[in-house]
Structure 1
Amino acid sequence: MIKLKNICKSFDEKIVLNNLNIEVKSGEIYGLLGANGAGKSTTLNIILGFLNPESGEVRMTDNEDDLEINRDKIGYIPENVNLYPYLTGVENLDYFSRIAGMKFTKEQLKKFLLECGLNEVDFNKSISQYSKGMRQKVGIAIAYAKNAKIYLLDEPASGLDPLSSNELSTLLRKMSDKGASILMASHDIFRVRETCDKIGILKNGLLITEIFSNEVTSTELESIYLKYMKD
């Protein structure tokens, strides 16, 4: 699980997160919707430990007495995946997996890439020949291979075509069905509605509302989102 309690963060006296409270249960996909600058990436960076909040708590366990945060098993997919251009897709996945303390056979590495939507003919091409969408799929595979209990995604469908975006949604559902807690930050209303169980709308660091995706259509969600953005 992921639990943020009364998280506050500011930069140069500008409030970026204001008493943010979010809970993502095991097996749940939570979509954090918001415009650029709403505080989505800051939220992920605080969970990852890259930033420290001024106040509030981050928990990743149901045990209220367990204050220790183990970030080693977090799978993180950034918007822009940084890979080694002179290595192939398979070699990049192998390299980053080893850094994380995991060693896979070549067949296992290929299986991860296939499940994340990369075509087999591209496995042994250098990353310098990859499109942004192809690089994104390798980044997704790097996170997926960790078999983590928590996944954080920052605009994960960036650079993906509609088919690949749909495959990503299917993969995330597979991960959540295994008990993973998934927090996805995005401004893609349709993808968030199709992928997530619960949706939070973030504006200027404030969580304005939370909605269960099965209670709204994409059109209704868009109307709700635009209303809050205009207010």
Structure 2
Amino acid sequence: MTSPLEAKSLSLVREGNAVLDGVSFTVARGEIFALLGGNGAGKSSTLLTFLGFLKPSGGEVLVNGQSVTGDVAAARGAIAYLPEAASLYGHMTAYENLDYFLDLAGKPAGRADLDAALDRVALPAEARTRRLRSYSKGMRQKTAIALALLRETPILLLDEPTSGLDPVAIDEFHDLVKALAGGGQTVLMVTHDVYGACQVADRVGLLRGGKLVGSFSAANGERIDTETVHAAFAERQAA
């Protein structure tokens, strides 16, 4: 069966530096795979290769079995991407931002659908008609998450998705991601948060210096052991 996401011996060299070095992994339909690593490990660069913004120097990345470099438009059409700092417009309301970006994506939605998505991310109703310049970082992130949900794509890429969220909102977001995966959506997230990765992911890959140096899986319905992953992460960071 074709995997929604696959990296095959992925290498990436930028300005003479090896950002990624022979990274290989697959993400199955309905699976949550977390790439865990520190700053400069190559996490965000991995996501950008799947979106076609960075071209591999070696190997390849595939979306639904098709090479991204062969058909960038098809890859992007299957993916909703949530960056760490979403580029939303401060002079527009939450509704206006969602309407604008969904129109650009060719996925217009009615007010009821917008409210349903904003309800799922727990953005207060009174805030939805306020301009985003008055929002906290967490509220802007919730709006961006709602936009990703409204795209209704089979694949979701998340770059430090809980940045700016408070602990309660983080738990709510993790529950939401697990519900999406339970409905068949494929999720690839990158993070430096060991606890968050272990809480939500089915598998965690440890990325260091552009190489995949460790892999951890949940067993028998249990969460991945945080202490084991933290010890490996700390050991690799100190190496």
Q: After TM superposition, is the score higher than 0.5?
A: yes
Alignment equivalent of 1:43, drawn from 40, 43, 46: 46
Fraction of identical pairs, as percent:
34
Which amino acid is the alignment partner of residue 169 of structure 1? Answer: H
Give the number of equivalent residue pairs: 229
1:220 aligned to 210, 222, 228, which one?
228
Query: What 5-or-longer segments of structure 2 have no aligned partner?
Result: none
- The residue type paired with residue 194 of structure 1 is Q
Q: Is the 8 A contact 1:73 1:146 kept in 2?
A: no
Residue 63 of structure 1: CA displacement? Answer: 7.4
| Counterpart position of 1:18 | 21
The alignment partner of 2:188 has SS state of: strand
CA distance in 1: counterparts of 2:79 and 2:16, whole angstroms: 30
Q: Does residue 199 of structure 2 align to residue 194 of structure 1?
A: yes
Q: Give secondary structure in 1 for the equivalent of 2:151.
A: coil
Aligned with 1:153: secondary structure? strand
Q: In the alignment, does 2:188 pair up with 1:157? A: no
Matched, 1:145 2:150: yes
Q: Would the aligned equivalents of 1:27 and 1:177 in 2 still touch at CA under 8 Å?
A: yes
Q: Residues 123-167 of structure 1: CA distance to partner in whole angstroms, max 9, x if unpaired?
A: 111101100000001111111101111111100000000111111
Choose 176-185 or 209-218, whichever is displaced more: 209-218
Tell me how large the CA RMSD over aligned residues is.
1.5
Structure 2 CA distance for partners of 1:92 and 1:177, relative to 1, 3 Å = same
* 1:72-104 superposed Cα distances (whole Å, 9 cap, x missing partner): 131100000111111111111111111100111
- Residue aligning to 2:98: 93
Residue 229 of structure 1 is aligned with which of 224, 231, 237?
Answer: 237
Aligned equivalents of 2:62 and 2:213: distance in 1?
A: 22
Q: What is aligned with 2:5?
A: 2
The farther-off stretch of 130-139 and 170-179 is 170-179
In terms of mean alpha carbon deviation, does 67-76 or 139-148 score higher?
Answer: 67-76
Structure 1: gaps spanning 5 or more residues: none
TM-score by length of 1: 0.95
- Secondary structure of 1:9's match? strand
CA contact (8 A) 2:80 2:148 kept: yes
